[in-house]
Amino acid sequence: MIPYEWPRAAAFGRVIPKNKIYEHAGANTALKDLFVREVDQIVWSHKLAPETVNLTATKSVTEIQVFRITTRTPSLDHEVLRAIDKAIPFPLIFEVVHAGRVRLAAAYKRPSEADGTRWVVGDYFLGGWLPEGAPRTPLPVALNIGALYERLLEPLVAGQTARLIPSIGQAPQKPLTSGEADHSVSLEDRIAHAEAIKAQLREVERIKSRLVREKQFNKRVAINAELRVAKQEFERLTAGTAGTAVANYQEDDHG
């Protein structure tokens, strides 16, 4: 997905020392080592707030913060993102930058129902890499900051799901047009569905690995049967998903 053109009024541009993240996230030695090894610089780049984007706050989303992380390695451990999310009490959108390329990353973050002072952070969704100088797209249209947060997350969820689906050889379905994209399903339900697809794909790959290692014929027959069941469940989860995911992804990039 194409990175967003963050509003000039929302520019913040504050470099965040790693030790500040350590303090607020309660970082242990292993986490600090991850930051040292993988992170070059952290910049709090933009604050999407009522006064900077001219949208009203909602109870669960009063502001959205954009963090720009310049990395020393092509991959960034999700525990680094989780530590920053833990340190900052607002929903976050990350721009990850490495070797002249940029990608978006985010997890769905919401206040805990049991304790409003705590945040619940889900799995991370990643956009594809693009040249850092690539044209950016305007922010999606939204009625309030809560809706804006959902519109920022939707293409990340849809894009990652679309990339997962062909990975076991499933024939891609005919994409829907952007006008046909289904927005009736809640973001939480989409994320739960995407996480279920990801977990089932891991299960398929785990069984495949067992099959490769197993040499006894009778055990291979049993594992093959298990693999068929796992693939059937994957296909059930992804039935109708490929076209919708691609359409939602294309709508954000080209709509």
Each residue's pLDDT tens digit, 73-125: 999 999 999 999 999 999 999 999 999 999 999 999 998 888 877 899 998 99
**What proportion of the chain, given as a percentage, has pLDDT over 70?**
85
- 116-169, pLDDT tens digit by residue? 778 999 989 999 999 999 999 999 999 999 999 999 999 998 887 787 775 544
**Per-chain mean pLDDT for the chain:** 86
At a CB cut-off of 8 Å and minimum separation 6, what does 40 contact?
Answer: 70, 71, 72
- What is this structure's pTM? 0.77
- 200-235, pLDDT tens digit by residue? 999 999 999 999 999 999 999 999 999 999 999 998
Q: Which residue has better confidence, 192 or 31?
A: 31
At a CB cut-off of 8 Å and minimum separation 6, what does 246 contact?
Answer: 158, 162, 172, 175, 176
Token pair of 87, please?
């340190």
pLDDT of residue 240: 58
